[in-house]
A = this chain, B = another copy of it.
Amino acid sequence: MIREEILMTNKRSVGVRAGPRRVTISDVANHLGISKGTVSRALNGYPDISEGTKLRISRAAERLGYHPLSHAQAIRTGRVRSLGLVLQIDSEDSARPFLADFLGGVTQAASDENWTVTIAAEPTEERVRKTLSRLVDEQKADGFILPRTLKQDGRVTTLLNANVPFVMFGRTEDSRECAWYDVKGEDAMRAATTRLAALGHTRIAHIPGGDQYYYTQLRIEGYEAGLKAAGLAFDPALLAPEAMTRRAGAAAFGELMALPEPPTAIVCAVDRAALGVYRGANARGLRIGREISVIAYDGVPEGAYADPGLTTFAVNSQQAGERLARLLIERIRGADPEDLRELAPATLVERGSDKAPALSSTELAQRLNDQHEIKNV
């Protein structure tokens, strides 16, 4: 009815698209016989518009189906109502299985506020930084979510210098001026360790994550705290080399099994390393959940299909995405980054990889030794 009138009076094709023209702010203004400046101020909640006209205007806008064009607003305000996300997608990307959930969370939260998400993906760290700079230069987004934060992160420097709002997924060494969301991996490692100790394990090892991540340090501390709580001494030999992949996990497991007093249980900083432990154990005829117990962290889907299922502390990626988006929007709206920090717990998913030890460390060493001799004969 009303919408029709407007569409009839200024039917005209714009660009390639034919179709009926959008309802603009001028249409609303003309329809009410007032100036478009007033309409703009009313819709943006300026205080110098009377409540009466504010109501008239918002009702008319609603009826006519007026929605401002974010890029038309942006030219004056500098804000495009979009969140930026530059992913690093490489071959060993541990975040890959969580991507869908994470994106779901981010975009849902953005949609709720009528924002959009601008995304890019690059294979290397350097290209990520370049693309990030480009997006900042061209004002494609009002702020950025930084996944996979490193201990010292170049992206942070870039964005701080450019004075562009951002939120990190994961803490860094120096978090001043930074907003972040993180999961308490250290608590998970601690709980994993005490849990294994309660099952009767006394030789509990830890396979940490990559050194470039701050969380690696935190998780090691969590592991040590768990040992302490269980009354076990920390043995540096049980702190394996770092492993972020299946292959590296298997290698780390090999080193642990070569020890004079090998561990009967292993806490892994990431699921992929744990799946490497499965492989290594398999190759040595050791059964997970019997001779070797494992608890890991992340919650990758493969863990559920492994045999036995991998007991792990799962991260809720969708929630992480959602919270990060909301924090970022608040940040863009001017909130103090120091007030925008959140820690969430990981959830224990009990499957079959953590049981009481079938063999003591000594017996395990004996058995590995026997195998070795058999092979050599």
Query: What residues make up the interface of A, taking CB atoms closer than 8 Å to B?
Result: 14-19, 22, 67, 69-72, 74-75, 77-80, 82, 87, 89, 93, 96-97, 99-101, 103-104, 107-108, 110-111, 116-123, 131, 135, 137-140, 161-165, 301-302, 305, 332, 334
Chain B: minimal CB distance from A282 (Å): 10
Q: How far is the CB of A51 from chain B (nearest CB, A)?
A: 28
- How many copies of this chain does one complex carry? 2
* A164 x B17 contact (CB < 8 A): yes
- Is the beta-carbon distance between B163 and A18 smaller than 8 angstroms? yes
In the bound complex, CA of A83 to CA of B293 (Å)? 48
Give Cα A119–Cα B19 distance, bound, in whole angstroms: 24
Contact of A116 among B17, B70, B111, B140 (CB under 8 A): B140
Tell whether A118 pairs with B117 under 8 Å between CB atoms, given A87-B103, A163-B17. Answer: yes
10 contacts between A and B (CB under 8 A): A22-B137, A67-B138, A69-B139, A70-B138, A89-B101, A96-B97, A107-B120, A108-B121, A117-B120, A118-B119
Given contacts A120-B117, A302-B302, contact A111 B137 (CB under 8 A): no
A222 CA / B116 CA spacing, docked (Å): 41
User: What's the nearest-Cβ distance from chain B to residue A295, in Å?
Assistant: 20
| Residues of B with C-beta under 8 A to A82 | 118
Tell me what chain A mostly uses at the interface: helix, strand, loop, or mixed. Answer: mixed
Instruction: Report if A131-B111 is in contact (Cβ < 8 Å); known contacts: A14-B78, A138-B70.
Output: yes
What's the nearest-Cβ distance from chain B to residue A328, in Å? 14
A17 touching B78 in the complex, CB below 8 Å, given contacts A96-B100, A116-B135: yes
Residues of B within 8 A of A162 (CB): 17, 19
Closest to A86 in B: B107
For the complex, give the distance between the alpha carbons of A19 and B120 in Å: 24
Measured between alpha carbons, how far is A334 from B17 in the docked complex, in Å?
Answer: 10
Q: B75, B78, B135: which contacts A75 (Cβ < 8 A)?
A: B75
A118 touches B118 (CB 8 A): yes
Residue on B nearest A123 in the bound complex, by CB: B104
B contact residues around A103 at 8 Å (CB): 87, 89, 99, 119, 121
A87, closest chain B residue (CB):
B103
Alpha-carbon separation in the docked complex, A139 to B81 (Å): 13
Kindly list chain B residues whose C-beta atoms are within 8 Å of the C-beta of A138: 67, 69-70
Cα separation A351 to B306 with both chains bound (whole Å): 19
Tell me the bound Cα distance from A110 to B120 in angstroms: 9
With known contacts A117-B119, A118-B82, A119-B107, A75–B67 Cβ distance under 8 A: no
CA distance A116 to B118 in the complex (A): 7
Separation in Å of the A159 CB from the closest CB of chain B? 11
Q: How many Å lie between the Cα of A135 and that of B165 in the bound state?
A: 24
- Flag if A72 contacts B75 (CB, 8 Å): yes
Known: A82-B118, A100-B89. A74 touches B77 (CB 8 A): no
Q: Evaluate contact between A121 and B104: CB separation under 8 angstroms.
A: yes
Q: How far does the Cβ of A339 sit from chain B's closest Cβ, in whole Å?
A: 16
Do the beta carbons of B71 and A80 come within 8 Å of each other?
A: yes
